[in-house]
Structure 1
Amino acid sequence: MTFQELQPKVRSIISETPLSRDQKLLAICELLNQQVSYYNWVGFYFANHDNKTLHLGPYVGAPTDHTVIPFGKGICGQVAESNANFVVPDVSAQDNYIACSFTVESEIVVPLFVNGKNIGQIDIDSHVIDPFTEADERFLEFVNQEVAKLF
């Protein structure tokens, strides 16, 4: 399924009234994991700005020990500080990478803004080296713009 075809499905999940916010986030994770072949772990982290930590929210994929990540640590922690997308074509080439699983080859993290404030991010791991393109970034920015409506 193309990113263009996924957009209305994401909008539909966001507008689904009987679902809680976490149920909607999980449904988005499931949709992306099922429909994009190289999205092997899809999840959300949310910022606690007082403690300068990220906390794992809904996700789909292998269990992770990384439920709390300090700002600045790993790819997610760097995005919490930079407020910018971070695409890692090959995680083995990254010095500040937190290994979640030996099967992860690449990662993309896109910050989630609400009223101009970075409140979290969508994090995607892939078992493929260098699969992420600018189209992934634009699509995930769209996803986060829709998710922002839940806050």
Structure 2
Amino acid sequence: MTFEELQPKVTDILHHRDTSRDEKLLQLCHLLKENIDYYDWVGFYFRNGEKEELILGPYAGEPTDHTVIPFGKGICGQVAVSNQNFVVPDVSAQDNYIACSISVKSEIVVPLFVDGVNIGQIDIDSGVLDPFTEMDERFLEFVNAEVAKLF
């Protein structure tokens, strides 16, 4: 399914009135994982109050031990500090990378802003080397802009 075809499905999930925010995010994670071939793990991390750490939110994919990530640690922790998208074509080339699984070859993390404040991020792992393009970034920015409306 193309990003353009997924956009209305994203919006439909996020604007369903009788569903909790976490359930909407979980449905969204599954939608992306199931419809984009190279999205093998899709999840959200959110800032833990005023603490400089991220906590795992809803996700689709294999369970992870990384339920709390300090700011600055790994790709997600770096995005929490930089407030910028981070595309990693080959995780084995990254010094500050937290390995979730030996099958992960690449990762993309896009910050989630509410009223200009970085409250979390969407994190996607892939078992494919260098699959992410600028189109993934723009699509995930759209997804996060829609998710931000829930906060």
TM-score by length of 2: 0.99
1:74 aligns with 2:74: yes
Structure 1 counterpart of 2:99: 99
Q: How does 1:6-17 map to 2 (within 5 A)?
A: 6-17=6-17
SS at match of 1:37: coil
Structure 1 counterpart of 2:33: 33
Structure 2 counterpart of 1:62: 62
CA–CA distance in 2 between the matches of 1:144 and 1:51?
Answer: 22
Which letter does structure 2 place at the counterpart of 1:19?
T
SS at match of 2:75: helix
Structure 2 counterpart of 1:116: 116
Which letter does structure 1 place at the counterpart of 2:132?
F
CA–CA distance in 1 between the matches of 2:110 and 2:76?
Answer: 9
SS at match of 1:66: coil
Identity, in percent, stands at 74
TM-score by length of 1: 0.99
Which letter does structure 1 place at the counterpart of 2:67?
T
Which ranges of structure 1 fall in alignment gaps of 5 or more residues?
none
Q: CA deviation at 1:49?
A: 5.1
Structure 2 counterpart of 1:134: 134
Deviation per CA, 1:47-93: give whole Å up to 9, x if none: 12522000000000011000000000000000000000000000000
What is the alpha-carbon root mean square deviation over aligned residues?
Answer: 0.6
Which letter does structure 2 place at the counterpart of 1:104?
V
SS at match of 2:46: strand
1:24 aligns with 2:9: no
CA–CA distance in 2 between the matches of 1:47 and 1:79?
Answer: 11
Which ranges of structure 2 fall in alignment gaps of 5 or more residues?
none
Runs of 4+ in 1 over 3 A off after TM superposition: none
Which letter does structure 1 place at the counterpart of 2:34?
Q
